[in-house]
Structure 1
Amino acid sequence: MSSTPTGERADLLATIRAHRAFVRFTTNGLDDAAAATRSTVSELTIGGIVKHLAATERSWMGFAVGGAVEMERHQVDWLDQHRMRPDETLAGLLDRYAAVAAHTDGLIAELPDLDTAHPLPQAPWFEPGASWSVRRVVLHLIAETAQHVGHADIIREAIDGQQTMG
């Protein structure tokens, strides 16, 4: 495989990278206290969103490579992955997110076939017996990241008026 992805792979990488950049932009200028601030009735914080996105991306790319068994190996506590604990820093969460992103980008660029599919884990929100391809996983991660950019933008605007876009 080429060291510089082209075509579909380049498009997928450009899209997920753009949404990740919006997440990172939303954190600009925040200290740890602000990143851990709940500014809405939701439990979400900007630090928690960064943490959740890293955990979700890691888990789904585990699935893309090794199926549900590998995905389950990367599962973390559902509530904890959405919270920025007092022992965590925004810088540390962003570093982890960057490391996960680099790993994902490498997989998108180098996996032999984006059509490789695995059966989804059994869960009430998945159609029984359904399978997802690597491509579908990457598209899901793009959608998940984009959705959380909006959440982070609302939280940030409520904290200090800054907006990601606009």
Structure 2
Amino acid sequence: MTTTEQRLTGEHAEMLETLGKHRFFLRLTVQGLTDEQAALTPTASELCLGGLIKHVTKAELGWIDFALGGPETDKGPDYEGHLNSFRMLPGETLEGLLAEYEAAARRTDELVASGVDLNKSWPLPEAPWFEPGASWSIRRVLMHIIAETAQHAGHADIIRETIDGQKSMG
């Protein structure tokens, strides 16, 4: 726990504590794996552990961009980039993906620790999966990042157990 987190109280501290717990489980799931193991897709899905780390990083960075600058930060549809966010591509390493995840986490943590107004709201970019005219507050963005991290930590746990029987949860 950083000094900043120790001084935080209330909702900001709770957001960071909850997000930190789910990040811990996601990172724990990949401990001790080789790059080859992290790239395996041993279940019925096409998900791999390194890809999940990469995807959560990309999603967190995108949502924090949105929290800071609103819909103008949306770079538009990138279907191939989205698909590749779930894969370890040639030349990518688990160590490198984890370092990128740590940098994204640090950026989010610094924003929350700054005492940002969680009520600040932005209209969502137009997309078929968003209700037309909907807005999300920074609070809602953080809740979404927490939910996404928790969901993918669960996926990661199943994949890890399939690879070598090791479980991070349960």
TM-score by length of 1: 0.94
Structure 1: distance between partners of 2:74 and 2:147: 19
CA offsets 1:91-132 (integer angstroms, 9 cap, x no match): 000000000000000011115311000000111111100000
RMSD value, Cα: 1.6
| Pairs within 5 Å for 1:4-153 | 4-72=7-75, 77-153=81-157
Structure 1: distance between partners of 2:88 and 2:169: 24
Higher mean C-alpha deviation, range 6-15 or range 103-112: 103-112
Structure 2: distance between partners of 1:16 and 1:132: 18
> Unaligned stretches of 5+ in structure 2?
none
Count of residue pairs the alignment pairs up:
164
CA offsets 1:51-72 (integer angstroms, 9 cap, x no match): 0000000000000010111142
Q: Is the 8 A contact 1:59 1:72 kept in 2?
A: no
- SS of the residue corresponding to residue 150 of structure 2 reads helix
Counterpart amino acid of residue 167 in structure 2: Q
Structure 2: distance between partners of 1:114 and 1:72: 23
Shift of 1:144: 0.4
> Unaligned stretches of 5+ in structure 1?
none
Structure 1: distance between partners of 2:163 and 2:69: 40
Identity %: 54
Q: Give the 4+ runs in structure 1 shifted more than 2 A.
A: none
